[in-house]
Amino acid sequence: MANISLEQQADSLLRTIKHFLITRLGVVIEKASLEDFYYAFCIALREEIMINWTATQATIEQKKARTVNYISMEFLPGRFLSNNIINMGDSELVQRVLAKTGRTLPELISYEPDPGLGNGGLGRLASCLMDSLATLNYPAFGYGLRYQYGIFDQEIWNGVQIERPDCWLLNENPWQYRRDAKAANVYFGGRVIHATNSHGDDITHLEDHEIVRALPYEVPIIGYPSSHYSVLTLKLWSTKESPRNFELQRFNSGQLGQAGENTSLTDVLYPNDNHEIGKRIRLKQEFLLVSASLQNIIHRHFRIHKDIGSFADKVRIQTNDTHPALVIPELVRLLMHDYDVSWKDAWEITRTVCSYTNHTILKEALEEWNEHRISHLLPRQFLIIQKLNGEFLKEVSNKYPGNVEKLQQMSIIEGGQVRMANLSIVGCHKVNGVSALHSSILKNSLFRDFSEFYPGKFINVTNGVTQRRWLLNANPMLSEFLTKRLGKGWITNLTELRKLKSYAQDPETQKEFLEIKRKNKERLIDCLTKENPIRDSHGKIIGNSHSLGPDALFDVQIKRIHEYKRQFMNLLHLIMVFQELKEDQSSRKIKRMVLMGGKAAPGYETAKRIIQLASALSRKINSDPDVNQKLCFNFIESYNVSKAQIIIPAADLSEQISTAGMEASGTGNMKFAMNGALTIGTDDGANVEMREEVTDTWWPFLFGASTEELVELRKKGSYNPKEIYNHNPKIRKAMDFLKDHLAQNENEAHSFRSLHALLLEGFYGDNPDPFFVLKDLEDYYNTQKKVEELYITQSKWAEYAIHNMAGMGKFSTDESIHNYAKLVWEITPCPIDPEIYKTVLDEYSAILK
């Protein structure tokens, strides 16, 4: 719509809004509530989006492009409205329209619920990747589940985490389109009837099975503007709205719960992060996603290509961790059963098409399913897994005759369990880790046998984040600052940030940087004062985040609560600082505002105790006049993407303190650094590459044992945390305080004694301090002192921060996507064809004439 003036466009958009207010909601603009206005405003914007969406999809079809299908049990897109406006290039237009209506953009933006369809890093990565796929015009589709309830809302009551349902679908959502015509049937259970196909290979039919109907909702994913912005499709399956999923016969026989099992399959996201749970409904969810998505992919293929012969050439499927690993047996089955492909070819096609990203090396997070569970629920897929495994093990024993141990280690099915990682490795042509360190651990340690068996299969694709959401959208002032110096290129080419280096010593630049940081801190303080006051155990407000003001060092750790992420170490350090200030208020030269946020999996006891500890400490610190002039500590409730967008731009210090070797990559680390925070961190995950990019000179707060050191220490079994307790008086004092002086009730006393014992005694015969908290605490403490030293000289701090920003060029998902495109998918961009765009636009405009 380039030829008409902005003013005319604004009038036109306002007319559309008024039109929808009347035709959809039955109100005139003066009478419209915020809710009405938000909805009409979004569906008015959708008109333009639909043109690009139609043109993008028509182009992909016409060019017969190879497409990639990103299948993930989780997506954490964050709020859509503000991002869509930016990516559509409509910021100015929207400002004009709103000025005419007396509404503000912030009120509209904050009205929108934040879709929490994921747990943390893995889900957020999926959304950053979709943003980059759209911006770079790659032909791609996302597939996920439309959970009625996303990750729970977290409330802290008397220090304890309470989970509340996340009702993000209370009001009609303008960013999703229900597509009844594209629903798919998914089969569970039943008895297998054997048959053969034309190649003489076994195929299977089912009897007495149940059918679940999956209905897709499509969400447009908008790329940042080039000449015409691409719009990709994220398809989210739901079983909720299909009345046929309700089993009346079960209801009539009094089995109420079972009658509704399938209508409620997609009701809830399992709130476990980096932890496996093995529940039957989770398996049903995973297969629902896999089967419905594959049907959709195959259906789309046939609309364009007419035969299955080109499938291996035209389709790529990326599985986000092993959660969708059942694509492997299900694709083999569909090819053989529905398209009469031979076993050998079906297997070959599957392996060519599929690839797998691993996100964790934690044993407890590696997915396994009991073989009976799978064979009951998915009898045909289980037969295929067994057959695959048989053939695979034959190959292994050919290569390593008589090596039983190898066979056991590599087998897909072992000890009655189906190991989904092994299935994924065997069934995919590429397996990638998400940082250089993580990928090398996969290759040389966790999956060593496999990497020897399949040379070239294991690769690295380092994670990134989209700078469109995490700078342009979350930090408008810093974006301005960058654009002023570098031009707009960084928005689609983050390596441009490198040029910032030459400004690092410039006093003007430093001053401006510090002013922006200060304003972002003020914005955060305002938010926290309103939404997250500090309370005592009776819920009474006892403190506020504005008490220290924006001069304080903002020291932030926000991520899921997990032992390996070591929030516990951060809290022990906090106790140490508290105790020093208690003795001598001048022992610390700077003010420190410590913020922590994150959800604990509801069944993860230790994580919940860590939250209890955080709350108790916040109470203690903030109510103590000897301390609260220098130190403030606030636990941020219900941390999510929207909150991250406000917290991250305000941070000075980013806590990335996981036990070395355990954080696959981390992506918060990147968001903080590109927003001008310095990292205090171990050499873990992507921290390593960030340090290399920034160079050691400008990466001053590295601490802790290395991955190799810890491997050695575990091997020798010589780690004894009690020694540290005995020899370091500060640490001993902090541990004693934890056990004896903090609790305010019996429940807390029990929790804190448990945490104490976890580090010094070990639980249930396990080793004490399995994540080496005490081992690294002393170094952490000393490094935190260095932080304070540097912070005193603000201009120096700014110089470091600017060097850190300058080093973040590599950590855009744009770069990750280019790597996937080149190393894994071998796909090329497919921007909207201008001819097609014109045809769509003409056809659309003709109606309006």
Task: Name the residues that contact ligand 26Q, by CB under 6 A.
Answer: 119-122, 125, 270, 272-274, 276-277, 282, 359-360, 365, 367, 434, 463, 663-667, 685
Q: Nearer to ligand 26Q by C-beta: 231 or 325?
A: 325
Q: Nearer to ligand 26Q by C-beta: 320 or 570?
A: 320
Q: Encoding tokens for residue 574?
A: 């906090």
Query: CA distances (Å), 554 to each of 590, 597, 646, 651, 705, in order?
Result: 11, 13, 13, 5, 25
DSSP 455: T
Q: Nearer to ligand 26Q by C-beta: 285 or 804?
A: 285
> Which of the residues 323, 565, 609, 810 is marked catalytic?
565
> Which of the residues 314, 560, 573, 803 is marked catalytic?
560
Q: Nearer to ligand 26Q by C-beta: 274 or 784?
A: 274
Nearest-approach distance from CB 818 to ligand 26Q, in angstroms: 17
Nearest-approach distance from CB 408 to ligand 26Q, in angstroms: 23
Q: Nearer to ligand 26Q by C-beta: 276 or 512?
A: 276
- Collect all residues with Cβ–Cβ distance below 8 Å to 640 and sequence separation of at least 6: 114, 116, 151
- Please name which of 67, 188, 12 lies closest in space to residue 828, comparing C-alpha atoms: 67
Q: What is the CB neighbour count within 10 angstroms for residue 399?
A: 11
Query: CA distances (Å), 536 to each of 527, 533, 576, 744, 844, in order?
Result: 19, 10, 21, 11, 59
Length of the chain: 849
Residues 153 and 164: beta-carbon distance below 8 Å: yes
Nearest-approach distance from CB 52 to ligand 26Q, in angstroms: 29
Sign of CA dihedral 751, 752, 753, 754: positive
Cα-to-chain-centroid distance, residue 844: 37
Q: Which residue in the shown chain puts its C-beta closest to ligand 26Q?
A: 121
Nearest-approach distance from CB 273 to ligand 26Q, in angstroms: 5
Residue 69 phi/psi, 5-degree rounding, is -120, 115
Our answer to whether residue 565 is catalytic in this structure is yes
Q: What is the distance between the alpha carbons of residues 300 and 60, in angstroms, rounded to a whole number? A: 11
Q: Nearer to ligand 26Q by C-beta: 461 or 651?
A: 461
> Which of the residues 213, 240, 323, 559 is marked catalytic?
559
Q: What string of H, E and C letters represents the secondary structure of 783-816?
A: HHHHHHHHHHCHHHHHHHHHHHHHCCHHHEHHHH
Nearest-approach distance from CB 156 to ligand 26Q, in angstroms: 23
Q: Encoding tokens for residue 766?
A: 């396990």
Our answer to whether residue 235 is catalytic in this structure is no
Nearest-approach distance from CB 463 to ligand 26Q, in angstroms: 5
Our answer to whether residue 667 is catalytic in this structure is yes
Our answer to whether residue 671 is catalytic in this structure is yes
Q: Nearer to ligand 26Q by C-beta: 622 or 667?
A: 667
Amino acid sitting at position 597:
G
Amino acid sitting at position 699:
W
Nearest-approach distance from CB 462 to ligand 26Q, in angstroms: 10
Q: Nearer to ligand 26Q by C-beta: 119 or 618?
A: 119
- 680 - beta bridge partners? 655
- Collect all residues with Cβ–Cβ distance below 8 Å to 333 and sequence separation of at least 6: 203, 204, 346, 380, 381, 384
Residues 140 and 67: beta-carbon distance below 8 Å: yes
Nearest-approach distance from CB 448 to ligand 26Q, in angstroms: 21
Nearest-approach distance from CB 145 to ligand 26Q, in angstroms: 13
Q: What is the distance between the alpha carbons of residues 138 and 818, in angstroms, rounded to a whole number? A: 10
Work out the burial of residue 549: count CB atoms within 10 Å of its CB; fewer than 13 is exposed, 13-18 middle, 19 or more buried: middle
Local structure of 4: helix, strand or coil = coil
Q: What is the distance between the alpha carbons of residues 286 and 266, in angstroms, rounded to a whole number? A: 10
Task: Transcribe 331-351 into DSSP letters.
Answer: HHHHHHHHH---HHHHHHHHH
Q: Nearer to ligand 26Q by C-beta: 119 or 204?
A: 119
- Collect all residues with Cβ–Cβ distance below 8 Å to 642 and sequence separation of at least 6: 78, 79, 110, 114
Residues 836 and 58: beta-carbon distance below 8 Å: yes
> Which of the residues 16, 350, 667, 783 is marked catalytic?
667
Q: What is the CB neighbour count within 10 angstroms for residue 429?
A: 16
Nearest-approach distance from CB 686 to ligand 26Q, in angstroms: 7
Q: Nearer to ligand 26Q by C-beta: 321 or 748?
A: 321
- Please name which of 556, 645, 642 lies closest in space to residue 594, comparing C-alpha atoms: 556
Residues 375 and 384: beta-carbon distance below 8 Å: no
> Which of the residues 592, 671, 803, 810 is marked catalytic?
671
Our answer to whether residue 560 is catalytic in this structure is yes
- Collect all residues with Cβ–Cβ distance below 8 Å to 109 and sequence separation of at least 6: 79, 81, 82
Our answer to whether residue 103 is catalytic in this structure is no
Nearest-approach distance from CB 532 to ligand 26Q, in angstroms: 24
Q: Nearer to ligand 26Q by C-beta: 154 or 360?
A: 360
Query: Which residue bears the tokens 């005490």?
Result: 774
Q: What is the distance between the alpha carbons of residues 211 and 192, in angstroms, rounded to a whole number? A: 15
Q: What is the distance between the alpha carbons of residues 243 and 435, in angstroms, rounded to a whole number? A: 45
- Please name which of 430, 446, 467, 459 lies closest in space to residue 667, comparing C-alpha atoms: 467
Q: Nearer to ligand 26Q by C-beta: 259 or 365?
A: 365
Residues 466 and 131: beta-carbon distance below 8 Å: yes
Nearest-approach distance from CB 591 to ligand 26Q, in angstroms: 31
Q: Nearer to ligand 26Q by C-beta: 367 or 769?
A: 367
Nearest-approach distance from CB 420 to ligand 26Q, in angstroms: 8
Local structure of 434: helix, strand or coil = coil
Residue 177 phi/psi, 5-degree rounding, is -120, 120
Residues annotated as catalytic are 359, 559-560, 565, 667, 671
